[in-house]
Amino acid sequence: MSEHLGYNYPIIWIKEASDGSLVETISFPLCTANGITRTVKSYGTRHLIIDDSIIDKKRGIRNIYSLSYDDLVIKDTLKSIIKILNYEMDEQRGATEKEIWLIPHSDNTGEREKVFYSGDEISFKNEKDIDESTGFVGLNLEFTAVNTRDFISVYDPDEVIYYIENNTLIN
């Protein structure tokens, strides 16, 4: 665990959509030096009026999270990634629908967001590491928040944020 809250690796929670019960926790402890990146994208409507003025109505912002495995992803991590993507397809296969929740930093589970996989494709290639263990390189994942927000929050990793869920104080 890091000395300061909010610097550790990302975690994915898989939950049942029907009742929110936790199905599985998947962690990504070996995310490369690039780690996880959050991009904030605003959503809204922009109209060009006949007099060349612009009406811009902001509807909110949405977080987009990128996990970089440019350098190396080990086989077990790749299996976990595939498992997450397969959970998204469960409903099409007749299984119960699942939700994907991203916790950007494992040492602060209070900061979490319901997401979906938004990458267009997954590409990677086999690679032998120096110690001859097999892994994969060139893998980048993108998850987008399901819900928009009406504000941009900048998380200070040196401050603890607490949340109340089901009458229980959690961080």
Q: Which amino acid is at 70?
A: D
Q: What are the helix (H) ranges across the chain?
A: 75-88
Residue 85 contacts residue 165 (beta carbons within 8 Å): no
Q: What is the pLDDT of residues 38-86, one digit of tens each?
A: 888 888 888 888 888 888 888 888 999 988 777 667 778 788 888 888 8
Task: In whole angstroms, give the CA distance from residue 46 to residue 134.
Answer: 49
- Closest CA relative to residue 24, chosen from 79, 83, 73, 96: 83
- Closest CA relative to residue 8, chosen from 155, 164, 153, 135: 155
Three-class DSSP category at 147:
coil
Please check the confidence at residue 5 and state whether its pLDDT lies above 70.
Answer: no
pLDDT at 21: 92
102: number of Cβ within 10 Å: 24
pLDDT at 125: 65
Residue 15 contacts residue 99 (beta carbons within 8 Å): yes
Please check the confidence at residue 4 and state whether its pLDDT lies above 50.
Answer: no
Say which residue, 26 or 163, is predicted with more confidence: 26
pLDDT at 14: 92
Domain boundaries, the chain: 11-43+58-170
Residue 80 DSSP class: H
pLDDT at 64: 93
What is the average per-residue pLDDT within 24-29? Answer: 84
pLDDT band at 2 (very low <50, low <70, confident <90, very high): very low
pTM, rounded to two decimals: 0.73
pLDDT at 113: 92
Say which residue, 152 or 11, is predicted with more confidence: 11
Q: What is the pLDDT of residues 98-154, one digit of tens each?
A: 899 998 888 777 788 999 989 877 766 666 655 555 666 677 889 999 998 887 766
The token pair at 109 is: 């589970």
Say which residue, 151 or 2, is predicted with more confidence: 151
Which residues lie closer than 8 Å to 165 by C-beta, 6 or more apart? none
